[in-house]
Amino acid sequence: MVVLGMLFVCTVVPVARRTRPPRRTVESMRIVIAGGHGQIALRLERLLAARGDEVAGIIRRPEQADDLRAAGAEPVLCDLESASVEEVAAHLQGADAAVFAAGAGPGSGAARKDTVDRAAAVLFADAAVRTGVRRYVVVSSMGADPKREGNEVFDVYLRAKGQADAHVRGLDALDWTILRPGMLTDDAGTGLVRLEANTGRGPIPRDDVAAVLAELIDTPATTGLTLELISGSAPVSVAVKSVAGN
């Protein structure tokens, strides 16, 4: 691995497991997040770092690194649109869990919906399989459908997300959970959500999405579930335990 001012760049050299931080009430984990500079990812990184986990966030641009460090995460410079599965797998070495939270963003065109929301998601999942990282959580989208018809950008986006989700579901080597939030807002999180297989549409603060993701990472009993998420009346931990059958 090549280090440039504490910013890690893509190589095919395996990364040794790092010394873990002081333990929290359960064993701390090393978690790698694709799309590490996204609005949900930065919130998730803060939560995971605060509870004692070791977090790495994959980013495309070096200037994003300081924001990850401020969130308590290790910045990893790697372009998922051009990297090989071997390069991505090198950054997953030693991880206990992986989260795909990358997205082309609302201002992007149809081409990048395919290269990021589908192809990068497939690449990251395949790299997790290659590395033996079983726990795998996906930030998808409500309405994602691999057979979505239409050629509008939003149709392409939902089709890309659906195709990526279908790929993950077909990987027996992953203990996957797919989370499909409703309409994302920047309102302060309430910690009260509705998390079910089908919730119907509704808003959800990004704060609460991050809180649910943190809880899902720690709840392998949600493996094999595709869940929708909107604001509701159940505390995050209660909502996750409920869908996990606890």
192, 239 Cβ separation under 8 angstroms:
no
Distance CA 208, CA 232 (A): 11
Strand partners, 69: none
Q: Which one is catalytic: 8, 100, 136, 157?
A: 157
Distance CA 132, CA 240 (A): 25
Read off the tokens for 132.
């033996």
Cβ count near 205 (within 10 Å):
20
Is-catalytic flag, 136? no
- N- to C-terminal Cα separation, the chain: 42
135, 148 Cβ separation under 8 angstroms:
no
Distance CA 199, CA 17 (A): 39
- Active-site positions read 157
